[in-house]
Amino acid sequence: MKKKIISPLDLSTQDIDELLTLSDRIIENPQAFAHKCDGKILATLFFEPSTRTRLSFESAMLSLGGQVLGFSSANSSSAAKGESVADTVRTVECYADIIAMRHPKEGAATVAAAKIDCPLINAGDGGHHHPTQTLTDLLTIHRLKGHLDNLTIGLCGDLKFGRTVHSLIRAMMRYQGVKFVLISPKELQIPDYIRSDLEDGGFDFVEAERLEEVMPTLDILYMTRVQRERFFNEDDYIRLRDSYILDKSKMELAKSDMIVMHPLPRVNEISVEVDDDPRAAYFKQAKFGRFVRMALILKLLEVA
Amino acid sequence: MLNIDSLQKGVVIDHIEVGKSMEIYRALELDKLDCSVAIIKNARSKKTARKDIIKIEDRIDIDLDILGFIDPNITVNIIDNGEIVEKKHLSLPQRIVNVARCKNPRCITSVEQELDHVFLLTDEARGIYRCAYCEHQYQDHK
Ligand SMILES: [Zn+2]
């Protein structure tokens, strides 16, 4: 496995298999892993705040017996004094065994990776890559559906700017028999380069404007938020907005074993009345995010 | 004085797309040369309707990667004793450094000035280059 995980595609399908299997083992017996990282230090370098992601990494390391240090915003870091990413990570490498970093600019983790020898996990570089989010999504599917192949996955909402959606499509394209259903307003359809990847790869995919129409076909529904300001005109927004809000009545159209995922935080795109539906998987996702980060840290530190 | 028609010794950069000669002049830093350099715009050509040509009255080393990146259809002729002694054909380079700048305002290169601007050839068939950091596609390329 590579030591610098910048993009989800830095992990081979074999790497992902191993990480998911290791995650299974951790979930079954967390105690067996409670001291695997004794004496090891994870540095969480968050040049922009993302409390949810940072806590997930820190919780993962603490659960392995390791310790954490770092900063949670650029204001409190050397970056505020104008230090480069390269210099910051070079210094931190002297204090930590593994680094997880988040930065508002795209490509920042690539810059960091070129400068250091210790393992590095990109915890988000602007709207670019966020591999542990993708791993979280894959573990969620693996745990709740039992397999990653032969699934019909619906992705709903802002498919144009949604990074998590692009990464998940790319990751799922590596498995046999996966069908994509892309549900979005016309203005927010997937970018051309993803569409040409799907076409070049001969993938089965359909694009739809309304969630209701495709709901019965889905094994997985991955929801993302559609922001009002992304619509080109108010008429379209009013006409379509309800199509991108998941509620009880739409859930009635879905298969009994479909799962609903969401990268969180949600605003109003999933009605709270859906939360108690056994098919709602979005809060479980956060739990799986911690386990899969534990697995990744173990693998990168070679202590698994 | 450089005789445009009959260069005795030097380099001819030929089949430049009309209007691109100044871009190439700047990219190859020909302004730094002491020898004569002639830029011929809108020359008649058999191959294409019109073209630009650059003639350099010295056997300088040309960075073929930069030229290949700008336009792989350009040809480079090395002239000695008034004759073409070598024709260099261009291809798309795999990697170019500090030739083009990433225009993505969200790219790390937009805030860290000391970083090299690196582009990688990611799709040879379509001639697509992407920033080595943010993977933004290089736009001015055909
Ligand atoms: Zn860039």
> Residue range A289-301: average pLDDT?
98
pLDDT of residue A76: 66
> Which one of A6, A47, A89, A105 makes the best mutation probe of the B interface by having the most chain B beta carbons within 10 Å?
A105
Region of A39 (left: φ > 0; alpha: ψ -120 to 50; beta: rest) is left
Q: Using CB atoms, pick whichever of B111, B114, B137 lies closest to residue A105.
A: B111
CATH code linked to domain B9-89: 3.30.70.140
Contact A85 B107 (CB under 8 A): no
Q: Using CB atoms, pick whichever of A107, A127, A193 lies closest to residue B108.
A: A107
Give residue A137 CA to ligand 1 midpoint distance, Å: 27
> Residue range A288-299: average pLDDT?
98
**pLDDT band at A153; cut points 50, 70, 90:** very high
- Greatest mean pLDDT among A106-120, A186-200, B128-142: A106-120
B81-122 pLDDT, tens digit each: 988 999 998 999 999 999 889 999 999 999 999 999 999 999
A4-27 pLDDT, tens digit each: 999 999 999 999 999 999 999 999
* For residue A236, pLDDT beyond 90: no
Contact A125 B104 (CB under 8 A): no
**pLDDT band at B141; cut points 50, 70, 90:** very low
Contacts of B115 in chain A (CB under 8 A): 111
Mean residue pLDDT of chain A comes to 93
Query: What is the Cα–Cα distance from A266 to A261, expressed in whole angstroms?
Result: 11
A25-53 pLDDT, tens digit each: 999 999 999 999 999 999 999 999 999 99
pLDDT of residue B1: 47
Query: What is the Cα–Cα distance from A187 to A193, expressed in whole angstroms?
Result: 16
Give the domain ranges of chain B.
9-89, 95-131
pLDDT of residue B133: 97
Pick the CATH number of A4-130+288-300 from 3.90.800.10, 3.30.365.10, 3.90.950.10, 3.40.50.1370: 3.40.50.1370
Residue A103 annotated among the catalytic residues of the structure: no
**pLDDT band at A189; cut points 50, 70, 90:** very high
Torsion of CA A272, A276, A277, A280, to 10 degrees: 70
Contacts of A103 in chain B (CB under 8 A): 108
> Residue range A152-177: average pLDDT?
93
> Residue range A152-162: average pLDDT?
93
pLDDT of residue A239: 78
How far lies B24's CA from each of A301, B2, B4, B110, B122, in Å?
A: 49, 19, 18, 24, 23
* For residue A200, pLDDT beyond 70: yes
> Residue range A118-139: average pLDDT?
95
* For residue B48, pLDDT beyond 70: no
pLDDT over 90 for what percent of chain A?
A: 82
CB-based contact, A103 to chain B, within 8 Å? yes
Number of A:B CB contacts under 8 A? 45
pLDDT of residue B47: 65
Contact A110 B133 (CB under 8 A): yes
CB-based contact, A196 to chain B, within 8 Å? no
Contact B134 A85 (CB under 8 A): no
**pLDDT band at A149; cut points 50, 70, 90:** very high
* For residue A228, pLDDT beyond 60: yes
CB-based contact, A49 to chain B, within 8 Å? no
Fold observed for domain A132-286: Rossmann fold (3.40.50)
Among the listed residues A4, A36, A40, A130, the single catalytic one is: A130
CB-based contact, A139 to chain B, within 8 Å? no
pTM above 0.90, yes or no: no
Contact B106 A106 (CB under 8 A): yes
Give the domain ranges of chain A.
4-130+288-300, 132-286
pLDDT over 70 for what percent of chain A?
A: 98
CB-based contact, B107 to chain A, within 8 Å? yes
CB-based contact, B99 to chain A, within 8 Å? no
**Which residues are within 8 A (CB) of A29 and not within 5 positions of it... i.e. 6 or more apart?**
none
pLDDT of residue A77: 65
Per the model's pLDDT, the better-predicted residue between A304 and B111 turns out to be B111
* For residue A232, pLDDT beyond 80: no
Q: Using CB atoms, pick whichever of A104, A111, A127 lies closest to residue B133.
A: A111
**DSSP labels, chain A:** --SEE-SGGGS-HHHHHHHHHHHHHHHH-GGGGTTTTTT-EEEEEESS--HHHHHHHHHHHHHTT-EEEEESSGGGSGGGGT--HHHHHHHHHTT-SEEEEEESSBTHHHHHHTT-SS-EEEEEETTS--HHHHHHHHHHHHHHHS-SSS-EEEEES-TTT-HHHHHHHHHHTTSTT-EEEEE--GGGPPPHHHHHHHHHTT-EEEEES-HHHHGGG-SEEEE----GGGSS-HHHHHHHGGGGSB-HHHHTTS-TT-EEE--S--SSSB-GGGTTSTTB-HHHHHHHHHHHHHHHHHHHTT--
pLDDT of residue A162: 83
A70-85 pLDDT, tens digit each: 999 877 666 666 789 9
